[in-house]
C-alpha cells in the first residue's frame, strides 16, 4: 500500500452546476465508503488497493491501514474506530483475482492503524452502518454473475456476535437509517430502494420505497430534511452516473452530474454543507463543498449535541 499516486486538489466543474466541486485526491483505486472523521477529514476505502485512506479536507491523502483483499465501505464510532466492510475480493466477475482462501467479514481499524477481524460470518459484505441500538447493520450480497441475492446481518461492535436478520432475492448494496429509524437498503440490479422496520430482534419484510430513475443505486445517505440522496451508477459504463435526491414521497427532486465517471459509488455529508463523493472508475474523491445541506447525522451521533468536527455524516 503506497500513497505516491495521491494528488493535491484541483477544481472541476460539471455543466455549469459545480456546487463548489473539487477533486481532493486521485489514484486511490476503486474508491468506496466515504466517512467523516472526528477531526473533519475523511476516510475512504479502496477495493482494488485493499486499503483505507485518510483524505484531507484541503486536499491530498495518506494511507491509514492496509486491510487487504477488498475494502468496500466504512463507518466510524464515537472512539474514532473505523469498521470496514471487507468483501474478500469477491466483488465482480471482472474484479481482482484474490485466492479462493480469501475471506470476507467486518474489520476494526483502530486510530493507530492496527487492524483486527470483528466478524467473518458475512460472506462478502458491501456496506454497513450503526443502528439506533448501537449495533452494526451490514449488507452482504452474493457476488456472482449468475446469482442476485443477499443478506442483512446485525453485529455487536465489541464482541463480534453476528445475527442473520434477513435473506432476500436481490443484490443488497447501500444501507442507511432514515429519520424515522427505518432501515433503507439499495437494490442495485432492480433499481429500487427498500425500507424495513427494525422491531427488537427482527427485521420486517422490506417494502419498495423508491424506484430509482436513470441509474442503479449504490451508496445512500439522508439529508437534514429527510430526503434520500443516492449514488446512481451506470452498470454498463455507457454514460456518466449521477447523484440523485428523492423526496420523502419517493419523487426525484434533484439530479446532479459531477463529471464523466459512470460510477459515483458512495456519498457522505460532511456536516458543513458539503457532500463527499467517491468517483470510483477514476479512483478519485470529490467534495461538492456548496451542496447546501449538512446531512442527517449518522448513528451513533444522531440526536445529540455535536460540533462540526465530531458529527460524522
| C-alpha cell at position 61 | 491523502
pLDDT at 49 over 50: yes
Q: Using CA atoms, how far apart are residues 177 and 195, in angstroms rounded to an integer?
A: 9
| Segment 66-105, tens digit of pLDDT | 998 799 999 999 999 999 999 988 654 455 555 666 789 9
Give, in degrees to the nearest 5, the angle at Cα 69 between 67 and 71: 60
Q: Yes or no: say if 96 and 117 are a contact pair by the CB < 8 Å rule.
A: no
| DSSP bridge pairs for 52 | 45, 65
pLDDT at 248 over 60: yes
Q: Yes or no: say if 260 and 233 are a contact pair by the CB < 8 Å rule.
A: no
What are the strands, taking DSSP E only, across 77-182? 82-86, 105-109, 115-119, 127-130, 136-141, 150-155, 162-168, 172-177
Q: Using CA atoms, how far apart are residues 229 and 109, in angstroms rounded to an integer?
A: 27
Q: What is the dihedral of CA 128, 130, 131, 135, to 10 degrees?
A: 100
Give the pLDDT of residue 9: 40
Taken in order of first residue, the domains within the chain and their CATH numbers are 10-288 (2.120.10.30)
Give the pLDDT of residue 199: 87
Banded pLDDT at 146 (limits 50, 70, 90): confident
The whole-number average pLDDT for the span 248-255 is 96
pLDDT at 1 over 50: no
Short-list 75, 82, 4, 76, CA closest to 33 = 75
| Segment 96-137, tens digit of pLDDT | 555 666 789 999 999 999 999 999 999 999 999 999 999 999
* Number of Cβ atoms within 10 Å of the Cβ of 136: 25
Give the pLDDT of residue 148: 82
Amino acid at each position: 500500500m503506497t500513497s505516491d499516486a495521491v494528488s493535491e486538489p484541483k477544481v472541476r466543474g460539471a455543466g455549469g452546476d459545480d456546487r463548489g466541486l473539487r477533486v481532493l485526491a486521485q489514484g486511490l483505486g476503486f474508491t468506496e465508503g466515504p466517512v467523516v472523521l472526528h477531526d473533519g477529514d475523511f476516510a475512504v476505502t479502496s477495493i482494488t488497493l485493499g486499503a483505507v485512506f485518510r483524505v484531507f479536507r484541503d486536499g491530498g491523502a495518506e494511507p491509514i491501514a492496509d486491510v487487504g483483499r477488498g475494502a468496500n465501505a466504512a463507518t466510524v464510532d464515537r472512539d474514532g474506530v473505523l469498521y470496514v466492510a471487507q468483501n474478500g475480493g469477491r466483488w465482480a466477475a471482472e474484479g481482482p483475482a484474490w485466492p479462493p482462501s480469501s475471506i470476507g467479514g467486518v474489520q476494526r481499524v483502530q486510530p493507530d492503524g492496527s487492524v483486527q477481524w470483528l466478524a467473518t460470518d458475512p460472506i462478502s459484505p458491501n456496506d454497513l452502518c450503526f443502528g439506533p441500538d448501537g449495533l452494526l447493520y451490514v449488507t452482504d450480497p452474493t457476488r456472482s454473475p449468475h446469482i442476485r441475492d443477499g443478506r442483512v446481518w446485525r453485529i455487536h461492535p465489541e464482541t463480534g456476535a453476528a445475527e442473520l436478520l434477513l435473506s432476500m432475492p436481490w443484490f443488497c448494496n447501500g444501507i442507511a437509517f432514515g429519520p424515522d429509524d427505518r432501515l433503507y437498503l439499495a437494490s442495485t440490479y432492480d433499481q429500487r430502494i427498500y425500507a424495513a422496520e427494525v422491531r427488537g430482534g427482527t427485521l420486517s419484510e422490506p417494502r419498495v420505497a423508491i424506484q430509482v430513475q436513470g441509474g442503479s443505486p449504490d451508496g445512500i445517505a439522508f439529508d437534514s430534511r429527510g430526503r434520500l440522496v443516492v449514488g446512481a451508477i451506470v452498470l454498463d459504463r455507457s454514460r456518466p452516473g449521477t447523484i440523485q435526491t428523492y423526496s420523502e414521497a419517493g419523487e426525484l427532486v434533484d439530479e446532479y452530474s459531477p463529471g464523466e465517471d459512470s460510477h459515483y459509488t458512495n456519498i457522505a455529508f460532511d456536516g458543513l454543507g458539503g457532500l463527499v463523493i467517491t468517483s470510483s472508475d477514476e479512483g478519485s474523491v470529490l467534495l461538492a463543498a456548496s451542496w447546501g445541506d449538512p446531512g442527517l447525522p449518522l448513528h451513533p451521533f444522531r440526536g445529540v449535541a455535536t460540533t462540526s468536527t465530531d458529527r460524522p455524516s
